Amino acid sequence: MNSLLQRYTAGMARYVATAAEAPLLDIEELGRLAITDDISLDEIAGLHEGAALALTDQGVPINEPEIIRRMSACLSALMVSAAVAYRTKIDLLEQHRQEERDRTERDRQRLETLGQFVGSVAHELNNLLQPVRGMTEIMVADLAEQRPPERADLEVIEGCAIQAVSVIQGILGYVRRETIAPQRLAFGAAVATACTFIRPMLREPFEVAIRDRDSEVLARQGELTQILLNLLQNAVQAGATHIRVEVDRIGGDWRGGGQPPRMRLRVTDNGQGMSAAVAARALDPYFTTKASGQGTGLGLAIVRSIVLGWSGDLELESEPERGTTLTLLLPVAIG
């Protein structure tokens, strides 16, 4: 502070004596320096008084109009440069804080995505481990009673293992940052295959009506099975006694209102249905109406994210006590 006062006094003395530009430039530099040294604007303004006293001591007639004018030029050079430096410093500080906030937000989003990803993997593997456990218990009981295990039970276990491998391939692809491109799939036939695989895993039967087996879409068999397993499990858990899986092809002609051709998969049940409030949130991650520990609320969120990844749409219609229909629409792969 003292050295600043000395430098300001010296600068002002030179300017008062010469009215040259150089001392004013020195004073401007001093204003910037004071801000870098964290000196407040009030203290900087205070330098002027100190310098004026020092000039009086040196016998400078500080009341003469020309001297007053030159001293005020020094004061404004000091204060303007300090104010500009202060503004720049505040801007830089704010920019730094904003960058810090952006980084924290990016980290938070990354962690949230990772959390959802880990949750959805656990959800899907759990879906597949339940039947493995059930079938194994049945086979152990068979063996205890000297009965050979049933081939069909073993096939369920094998099917679940194959499906789990496809879930794990998805994880490995994600870890390696690969995007696994969807494949051309005869959609109706692929839905039929998935249903055959799922049928022994569910405690309720379900009807399958495939009206178009051959039209192709861009999708993946493993993920299609995941989708159907989630939708059918939800239907069973909603207490449905009648569940139906339907595939047809819509649009692509004048009857479709000029819409491009799409494959439509509908899973309809006559279960408890949803209130409008539940239906509005059913697709959100972690939204569940199940008792704690019973559902993660990730099933439909996973279904939706797979469908969006295939450039498709997912629609939900539901009425309390009447039942629910989930409709998946996928563009037909042309050419």
Ligand X SMILES: Nc1ncnc2c1ncn2[C@@H]1O[C@H](COP(=O)(O)OP(=O)(O)OP(=O)(O)O)[C@@H](O)[C@H]1O
Query: Which parts of this chain interact with Mg ion (CB under 5 A)?
Result: 234, 299
Question: Quick one: what does residue 324 bind among Mg ion, ligand X, none, with the CB cut-off 5 to 8 Å set by partner type?
Answer: ligand X
Q: How many CB atoms lie within 10 A of CB 46?
A: 14
Question: Quick one: what does residue 226 bind among Mg ion, ligand X, none, with the CB cut-off 5 to 8 Å set by partner type?
Answer: none
Residue 20 region by backbone torsions, left for phi larger than 0, else alpha for psi between -120 and 50, else beta:
beta
**Closer residue to Mg ion in complex, CB, 226/234:** 234
Exposed/middle/buried for residue 281 (C-beta within 10 Å: 0-12, 13-18, 19+): middle
**Closer residue to ligand X in complex, CB, 215/234:** 234
Q: How many Å apart are CA 259 and CA 262, to the nearest integer?
A: 8
Question: Quick one: what does residue 201 bind among Mg ion, ligand X, none, with the CB cut-off 5 to 8 Å set by partner type?
Answer: none
Q: How many Å apart are CA 72 and CA 78, to the nearest integer?
A: 10
Question: Least distance from C-beta 122 to Mg ion, angstroms?
Answer: 13
Question: Least distance from C-beta 273 to ligand X, angstroms?
Answer: 6
Question: Least distance from C-beta 312 to ligand X, angstroms?
Answer: 17
Residues at the site binding ligand X, with contacts judged by CB under 6 A: 123, 230, 234-235, 238, 269, 271-274, 278, 282, 287-290, 295-301, 324
**Closer residue to Mg ion in complex, CB, 48/123:** 123
Under a CB-based contact definition with an 8 Å cutoff, are residues 218 and 185 in contact?
Answer: yes
Please enumerate in sequence order all residues whose Cβ is within 8 A of that of 319, keeping only pairs 6 or more positions apart, or say none.
Answer: 273, 274
Query: Which residue number has the CB closest to ligand X?
Result: 299
Question: Least distance from C-beta 213 to Mg ion, angstroms?
Answer: 28
* Letter string b/e over residues 96-117, b meaning 16 or more CB atoms within 10 A of that residue's CB: eeeeeeeeeeeeeeeeeeeebe
**Closer residue to ligand X in complex, CB, 31/271:** 271
Crossing angle of helices 299-309 and 221-237, rounded to 10°: 150
**Closer residue to ligand X in complex, CB, 163/230:** 230
Question: Least distance from C-beta 221 to ligand X, angstroms?
Answer: 21
Question: Quick one: what does residue 238 bind among ligand X, Mg ion, none, with the CB cut-off 5 to 8 Å set by partner type?
Answer: ligand X
Q: Which of 248, 264, 308 is nearest to 283 (CA)?
A: 308
**Closer residue to ligand X in complex, CB, 188/299:** 299
Question: Least distance from C-beta 226 to ligand X, angstroms?
Answer: 11
Question: Quick one: what does residue 305 bind among ligand X, Mg ion, none, with the CB cut-off 5 to 8 Å set by partner type?
Answer: none
Question: Quick one: what does residue 131 bind among ligand X, Mg ion, none, with the CB cut-off 5 to 8 Å set by partner type?
Answer: none
Q: How many Å apart are CA 219 and CA 226, to the nearest integer?
A: 12
Question: Least distance from C-beta 236 to ligand X, angstroms?
Answer: 9
Q: How many CA atoms lie within 13 A of 272 on its CB side?
A: 10
Question: Least distance from C-beta 184 to ligand X, angstroms?
Answer: 28
**Closer residue to ligand X in complex, CB, 206/310:** 206
At which residue do the structure tokens 């909603």 appear? 238
Q: Which of 160, 260, 172 is nearest to 200 (CA)?
A: 160
Under a CB-based contact definition with an 8 Å cutoff, are residues 196 and 162 in contact?
Answer: no
Question: Quick one: what does residue 282 bind among ligand X, Mg ion, none, with the CB cut-off 5 to 8 Å set by partner type?
Answer: ligand X
**Closer residue to Mg ion in complex, CB, 285/299:** 299
Query: Which residue number has the CB closest to Mg ion?
Result: 299
Number of H helices, E strands in the chain: 9, 7
